[in-house]
Amino acid sequence: MPAIPLMIPDLPPAAAVLPYLERIDAAKWYTNFGPLVKEFEAQLLVQLAPGREDIRLVTTSNATVAIEMALQALHLPRGARVLVPGLTFVATGTSVIRAGHEPVMSDVDADSWLLTPAIASRALAATRIDAVLPVATFGCPQDVDQWRAWSEQTGVPVLIDAAGAFGNQPVGPVPVVFSLHATKSLGIGEGGFVVSDDADFIERIRRLSNFGIGANHGEVDEAGTNGKMSEYHAAVGLAALPRWQAKREVRLSLQAGYRLALQQHAPTVMWQDKPEGIPTILVVAMPSGVDAGAIASRLATRGIETRRWYCPPLFEHRAFAGCDAAGPLDVSRDIAGRLLGLPFHLHLQIDDVSTVCSELGAAIDDEQSHHTSPAALDFVSLPAKTAVHRPRRAARRG
């Protein structure tokens, strides 16, 4: 294991889960919407939408299946063209394909790294779009009110993939999918859930997660899948929720420590321009002209594990080679080539953060000193909205 690993999942200890396992033994109910699943769903609603009786929620076996079922529940035509960001995890695109639809690649905003309503409007003007699947990239929340207004104006449904944004992403006006994978800020091993203010939509997903079987166990009207959450995963979830606030504070503290250390040691790295939130992972972009792969290799020799998330971008994977694009993808391509995920987990110490940022800054300085030329220096004068971005100081909001 590296001296400073990238990620260490933090699930509740066995002792905290044991009382819930004993309840499962006593009830002899192991899956199929058991009492622990219902309790977990109720507690998630309290966490996400306190006092909102109009909000509904359904748990699933994982977030990828949740997206597939939610797309099916939208009752899109077969082969619908679904706009997705070019800068995202592969599950966003595979969910669209496995739901029987066609991903259409979109560029992202240069500052937030998000597919926004403004970008979706330009895509809609250029090509046919039947639905939009924006992503809360690296936990940066999508604006649900803006998306609701956009959907009402255009008549195009919107489903938000907020897999890694628990604690950040608001819910209500449009459907939102969250992940509970072991590496997420609220992890239970495997799991996911969908939140919406449309009770019928949530009920359709619940039926689809049980093969399409309704409450009366009668004839199946629509073919579903087996996407239910088990009682065992709900047990882990119920044990995890009481630890959420403490974990939240540690993550916020680590993020603040990173911001200060990066400002001191690596001030040219770029952060997402986003509201303060609870990070699941911490990703920065190298300055233009700096080889992120070379930086990752240098840090590895120092015992620091990193990961180049979303490199290559979605549209450069062979699985999506035949997909259409709704315009140029220059911003997504540029950002993906410069991204580097830094160690971020609850076992990290503040001295580790200082070491990571010090080594990162030294690696960037060495890389720039080896490649400095008049042409390279000209990059920094380009406007921030072009395909190659002006370096930002790490002190801006992460």
User: What are 183-204's pLDDT values in tens digits?
Assistant: 999 999 999 999 999 999 999 9
Query: Is residue 86 left, alpha or beta, with left meaning phi > 0 and alpha meaning psi from -120 to 50?
Result: alpha
Count the Cβ atoms, other than its own, within 10 Å of residue 1.
Answer: 7
Same-domain pairing of 290 and 176: no
Same-domain pairing of 193 and 227: yes
Same-domain pairing of 65 and 169: yes
- Which residues make beta-bridge pairs with 193? 59, 178
d(CA 181, CA 205): 19
Same-domain pairing of 148 and 283: no
The predicted structure's pLDDT at residue 195: 98
d(CA 189, CA 328): 37
pLDDT tens digit string along 50-80?
A: 999 999 999 999 999 999 999 999 999 999 9
The predicted structure's pLDDT at residue 214: 84
In a domain, 3, yes or no: no
Q: Please list, in sequence order, all residues whose beta carbon lies within 8 angstroms of the beta carbon of residue 379, skipping any fewer than 6 positions away.
A: 288, 289, 388
For the record, the structure tokens of 77 come out as 């035509």
d(CA 110, CA 141): 15
Tell me, what CATH number does 342's domain have? 3.90.1150.10
Same-domain pairing of 232 and 250: no
The predicted structure's pLDDT at residue 369: 87
Residue 381 has pLDDT above 80, yes or no: no
Number of folded domains that form the chain = 2
In a domain, 65, yes or no: yes
Last residue of a domain, one of 242, 267, 298: 242
d(CA 336, CA 329): 11
Task: For residue 369, give its domain range.
Answer: 244-381
Same-domain pairing of 169 and 71: yes
Angstrom CA distances, 397 to 23, 63, 229, 258, stand at 44, 28, 36, 12
Tell me, what CATH number does 53's domain have? 3.40.640.10
Q: Is 348 helix (H, G, I), strand (E, B) or coil?
A: coil
Residue 375 has pLDDT above 70, yes or no: no
In a domain, 398, yes or no: no
Same-domain pairing of 201 and 321: no
In a domain, 7, yes or no: no
Same-domain pairing of 74 and 217: yes
pLDDT tens digit string along 154-184?
A: 999 999 999 999 999 999 999 999 999 999 9
Same-domain pairing of 208 and 160: yes
In a domain, 314, yes or no: yes
The predicted structure's pLDDT at residue 40: 98
Last residue of a domain, one of 192, 215, 242: 242
- Which residues make beta-bridge pairs with 85? 106
**H or E segment at 192?**
strand 192-196
Same-domain pairing of 145 and 92: yes
Same-domain pairing of 95 and 228: yes
For the record, the structure tokens of 322 come out as 């035949």
Percent of the chain with pLDDT over 70: 93
Same-domain pairing of 94 and 234: yes
12-26, 222-236, 271-285, 340-354: least confidently modelled range: 271-285
d(CA 63, CA 69): 10
Q: DSSP assignment of 50-80, as one string? A: TT-TT-EEEEES-HHHHHHHHHHHTTPPTT-
What is the mean pLDDT of the segment spanning 368-375? Answer: 65
Residue 376 has pLDDT above 80, yes or no: no
In a domain, 318, yes or no: yes
Q: How does residue 24 score in pLDDT terms, banded at 50, 70 and 90?
A: very high
pTM for this entry? 0.91
Confirm if 164 and 280 have CB atoms less than 8 A apart: yes
Residue 390 has pLDDT above 60, yes or no: no
Residue 231 has pLDDT above 80, yes or no: yes
Is position 247 annotated as part of the catalytic site?
no
Residue 397 has pLDDT above 60, yes or no: no
In a domain, 394, yes or no: no
Last residue of a domain, one of 213, 242, 271: 242
In a domain, 148, yes or no: yes
64-78, 270-284, 328-342: least confidently modelled range: 270-284
The predicted structure's pLDDT at residue 299: 98
For the record, the structure tokens of 380 come out as 């920094």
User: Among the options 184, 228, 274, 385, which is catalytic?
Assistant: 184
- Which residues make beta-bridge pairs with 236? none
Q: Please list, in sequence order, all residues whose beta carbon lies within 8 angstroms of the beta carbon of residue 372, skipping any fewer than 6 positions away.
A: none
Percent of the chain with pLDDT over 90: 87
The predicted structure's pLDDT at residue 372: 59
The predicted structure's pLDDT at residue 215: 76
Residue 392 has pLDDT above 60, yes or no: no
Residue 117 has pLDDT above 90, yes or no: yes
